[in-house]
Every structure is written in structure tokens, then in C-alpha cells.
């Protein structure tokens, strides 16, 4: 046996169950990528074909960007663009986790319960092409970019782009981005009244984009839009839900009301999936208790309530419950990173490992690792 082989075997023998869980999650994600590669994203393809050719309309920003650089869009771009977005988001999350908590000691366990959660990257790839991940990506960027005079302007511009990509981002990720921005720009530095006015002004464009996307109808009849989208398609386009560019709030509410009976029966499934994250929930509670200033604790509490209220509104109007519960959980993980910035300087924060609960935590960690996704509309 060569020395190199002995070193590899020794390294594997020293690996804890938590390191094996990280490897298991990476293997599951690789399998998801392979599966999605052979699952042609025709519906997601149509999302990239709508643009501002006829004038402003909702969910047409990415298609407009593509139209600037190519005359026609290929089917496989729906896969490769979103794969690149997914990998970029994942890489930035690893950078964020290392900056906020690091990987020393028991923090690998925290990494398993966040990075490996079926609510997070595994589900983002299952829902590839549905634009949710862009909000998460920008929320992570908001946690990472330096604080300076341009910080509010960058956040406001990014939020406006998110709403133009998909107007549901206004309730999906803008609330957690807002909480993160307030914590970093106002709680971690001295500020003036001018800073408050500045932040209020840059918050106006995302609101205007949301109102425009919600209430301005597509400027041409559905048949004309569909014909144009097919001219933009380099590959056959057999399936297009053209109604998504024409659906009103009343239409969305009616469809969700029709689905609510079935969705209500599935609520215990989502509650069970959240319960599997119990060690993470306790850790977040500990972080909240470690916040130094009472005003900051109140801000976090109001932020949690505001984020959750936004998701309750989404649940009333849009029936893709598996997506919304997953994204809410991701927002809680992102809020956790923001809360960690507010810890007392003399407090290291809570320890993720619970004495006497090792077996329970390992069992829950393996269960979460084994769950490949939560779903798009219904669980699994």
C-alpha cells in the first residue's frame, strides 16, 4: 500500500459523521444536476423568451437582457444560466458561512443543517428556472458587500432588478434583504438623518417596479405575444403558459382558493420538515438572546414578523406552497447570519452542539441529508 493511499484511508477514518453528511449532500446535489440535465426545461425556457419588445410587462427582465445579446435563445440556456446562478449562490453562501461562523469546532454541524437542508440548495435546483434563487443570491450579496455611501443605492438597485425579474420577489426576498440592509447600515455604524432620507429614497424604485409589474397588463394580446416568443425561440416551444403574463390578482386569488383544501392537508408535512431542523431553531433562538442591544432585538423580532407576514400574503394569493415554505426557511437562515452580526463583542454566541443530544442531532442530520428536495407546488 502506497503512502498516499494510507493517507487517504487515514483521512476518511478520521472523518466525523458530519463530514460524511456534507459529502452526502454534495452527492445528492450532483445527482439532481444530472437528473435536471435530462429533464428538458421547456416551461422555464418560455420564461426567458418574454421581453420588453412590445413595452413594459411583468416577468420580462431576464428575457430583455438576453435579447440584447442574442437574436434567439436556445432551450439549453434555461439550464446553463440557472446552473451558473445556483453554483454562484452556493459559492457565496460558503464564503458567507466562513465569514460569519467559520468551520472550526462544531460549526460543521450548523453547516449541515443549513447548506444541506432540503429547503435550501437542493430545492433551489429542483425549482431551477423559477427565479426564486435570484432573491437569495442578492440577499447573500447584501450580507457580503462592503458598507459605504453606495451601499443603499446598490441595495435599492438590486431590489428593483429582482422585482422586474419576478414581482413576487417583493414579498419573497425583499423583506429579508431590507432587514439585512438596516442591520448593516444602521445598527453597525453611526448614521444621520440624511442616511435615513437616503435609504427611504432608494426604497422607492422597487416599490414602483412592484406596482407597475402588478397592475400594468401585457401590452399586446396573448396570441401576438406567443407568436413573438416563438420567433425568439431557437428550439421548438410546444408548451407555453401564456396566461402568466396576463393573470390578475383576482385570478391568482381564485386559483389559490380552489387549491387551498388540498394545500391545507399538506401543511403537517411542511411542519414536520421544519421540526427536523430543531437544533437549528434552538441555535437561532440562542443567537437572538445574544444580541447586545434591546432595540436591535426588537428590530430582529419585527423583521421576523414582517418576513413571515409577507409569506402569509403569498400563501393567500399563489398556490405553490412547497416553494414558499422552502423560501421562508431560506430567509430564516439568511436572517440568522444577520443576527450573528449583532452579538455582544464578549459573547461567542451559542454552541450548536447540545450536550447529551449527539445521537438525536446525528439522526436528524442524516434525515435532512437524505431528503433530496421539498418540491415546487406539492411536497416531494
Assign 221 a pLDDT band (cuts: 50, 70, 90): very high
Secondary structure class of 233 (helix, strand, coil): strand
Contact of 177 with 139, CB cutoff 8 Å: yes
Percent of the chain surpassing pLDDT 90: 84
Max CA-CA distance within the chain? 72
- Per the prediction, the chain carries an average pLDDT of 92
- Concatenating the DSSP letter of every residue in 124-186 gives HHHTTTSSHHHHHHHHHHHHHSPPSTTHHHHHHHHHHHHHHH-TTHHHHTHHHHHHHHHIIII
What pLDDT, on a 0 to 100 scale, did the predictor assign at position 11?
44
Q: Summarize pLDDT for 247-279 with one digit per residue, the tens.
A: 989 999 999 999 999 999 999 999 999 999 999
Q: Summarize pLDDT for 22-78 with one digit per residue, the tens.
A: 999 999 999 999 999 888 888 899 999 999 999 999 999 999 999 999 999 999 999
Separation CA 215–CA 110 (nearest Å)? 42
Q: List the single range of 113-117, 212-216, 312-316, 340-344 with lowest mean pLDDT.
A: 340-344
Separation CA 298–CA 353 (nearest Å)? 27
Place of cell 425579474: 165
Assign 129 a pLDDT band (cuts: 50, 70, 90): confident
Secondary structure class of 375 (helix, strand, coil): strand
Pseudo-torsion of CA 5, 104, 27, 363, nearest 10°? Answer: 110
Assign 380 a pLDDT band (cuts: 50, 70, 90): confident
List phi, psi (to 5°) of 339.
Answer: -60, -35
Triad 164, 165, 170: Cα angle to 5° = 65
Secondary structure class of 224 (helix, strand, coil): helix
Does residue 1 carry a pLDDT above 70? no
Residues paired with 291 in a beta bridge: 343
Place of cell 406596482: 211
Q: Summarize pLDDT for 155-185 with one digit per residue, the tens.
A: 999 999 999 999 999 999 999 999 999 999 9
What pLDDT, on a 0 to 100 scale, did the predictor assign at position 353?
73
Q: What is the pTM of this model?
A: 0.93
Does residue 8 carry a pLDDT above 50? no
Within 13 Å, how many C-alpha atoms sit on residue 332's CB side?
23
Secondary structure class of 73 (helix, strand, coil): strand
Pairwise pLDDT comparison (334 vs 216), residue with the higher score: 334
Residues paired with 73 in a beta bridge: 233
What pLDDT, on a 0 to 100 scale, did the predictor assign at position 128?
86
Amino acid at each position: 500500500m502506497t503512502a498516499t493511499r494510507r493517507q487517504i484511508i487515514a483521512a476518511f477514518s478520521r472523518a466525523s459523521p458530519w463530514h460524511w453528511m456534507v459529502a452526502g449532500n454534495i452527492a445528492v446535489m450532483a445527482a439532481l444536476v444530472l437528473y435536471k440535465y435530462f429533464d428538458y426545461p421547456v416551461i422555464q425556457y418560455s420564461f426567458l423568451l418574454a421581453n420588453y419588445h412590445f413595452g413594459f410587462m411583468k416577468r420580462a427582465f431576464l428575457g430583455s437582457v438576453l435579447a440584447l445579446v442574442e437574436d434567439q435563445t436556445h432551450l439549453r440556456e434555461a439550464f446553463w444560466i440557472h446552473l451558473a446562478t445556483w453554483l454562484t449562490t452556493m459559492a457565496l453562501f460558503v464564503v458567507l458561512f466562513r465569514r460569519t461562523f467559520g468551520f472550526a469546532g462544531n460549526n460543521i454541524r450548523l453547516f449541515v443543517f443549513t447548506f444541506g437542508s432540503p429547503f435550501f440548495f437542493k430545492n433551489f435546483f429542483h425549482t431551477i428556472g423559477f427565479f426564486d434563487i435570484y432573491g437569495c443570491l442578492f440577499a447573500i450579496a447584501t450580507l457580503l458587500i462592503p458598507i459605504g455611501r453606495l451601499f443603499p443605492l446598490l441595495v435599492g438597485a438590486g431590489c428593483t432588478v429582482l422585482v422586474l425579474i419576478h414581482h413576487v420577489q417583493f414579498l419573497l426576498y425583499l423583506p429579508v434583504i431590507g432587514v439585512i440592509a438596516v442591520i448593516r447600515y444602521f445598527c453597525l455604524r453611526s448614521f444621520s438623518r440624511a442616511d435615513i432620507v437616503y435609504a427611504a429614497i432608494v426604497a422607492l424604485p422597487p416599490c414602483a417596479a412592484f406596482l407597475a409589474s402588478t397592475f400594468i397588463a401585457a401590452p399586446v394580446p396573448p396570441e401576438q405575444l406567443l407568436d413573438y416568443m416563438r420567433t425568439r425561440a431557437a428550439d421548438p416551444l410546444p408548451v407555453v403558459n401564456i396566461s402568466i403574463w396576463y393573470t390578475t390578482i383576482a385570478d391568482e386569488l381564485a386559483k389559490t382558493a380552489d387549491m387551498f383544501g388540498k394545500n391545507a392537508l399538506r401543511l403537517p408535512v411542511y411542519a414536520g420538515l421544519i421540526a427536523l431542523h430543531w437544533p437549528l431553531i434552538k441555535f437561532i433562538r440562542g443567537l437572538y438572546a445574544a444580541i447586545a442591544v434591546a432595540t436591535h432585538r426588537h428590530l430582529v423580532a419585527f423583521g421576523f414578523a414582517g418576513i413571515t407576514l409577507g409569506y402569509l400574503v403569498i400563501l393567500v394569493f399563489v398556490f405553490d406552497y412547497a416553494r414558499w415554505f422552502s423560501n421562508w426557511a431560506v430567509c430564516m437562515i439568511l436572517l440568522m447570519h444577520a443576527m450573528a452580526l449583532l452579538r455582544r463583542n464578549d459573547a461567542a454566541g451559542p454552541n450548536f452542539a447540545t450536550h447529551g443530544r449527539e445521537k438525536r442531532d446525528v439522526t436528524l442530520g442524516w434525515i435532512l441529508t437524505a431528503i433530496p428536495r421539498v418540491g415546487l407546488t406539492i411536497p416531494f
